[in-house]
Amino acid sequence: MATVELTKENFDRTVSDNPFVLIDFWAGWCRPCLQFAPVYEKVSEANPDLLFAKVDTEAQQELAGAFQITSIPTLMIVRDQVAIFAQPGALPEAALTDLIAQARALDMDEVRAKIAPSDRPEAQGDEGADEPGTSGTPEV
């Protein structure tokens, strides 16, 4: 399956309509990005049930900014509208395949329980203290 180009206009709908999305934040001038592209394409072909998407950080600066992308390539995995992985750096094929297997194995009910606001008394007054990347995807 070919990768899908994400833009500010189609990002929210794409992530909402697909339960498992891999996102490659890249730029045309970035040599590691260009070296990672064929690996990303090959792994996408081996996983046709997942959506592989790309964000051109030069053309979509607002979108890259919303995710605080400061280094490229950055790979992000979004499952059930929750960002479960985000890390800069080009991965070799075996590492990307292993990462996908780990992401598939996650119990999303457990993940959602960990990021849900707590009713514990010691958690009161901690509004807004969530760690980055634990409360889902930012509104774009």
Neighbours of 67 (CB within 10 A): 21
The distance of Cα 42 from the centroid of its chain, to the nearest Å, equals: 18
Catalytic residue among 22, 33, 39, 63: 33
Instruction: Point out which residues pair with 5 in neighbouring strands.
Output: 54
Nearest to 76 by CA among 62, 87, 90: 87
Catalytic residue among 6, 15, 21, 30: 30
DSSP element (H, E) containing 5: strand 4-5
Q: What is the largest CA-CA distance in the chain?
A: 50
Q: Does 30 participate in catalysis according to the annotation?
A: yes
**Which residue is listed with tokens 């600066």?**
61
Catalytic sites, residue numbers: 30, 33
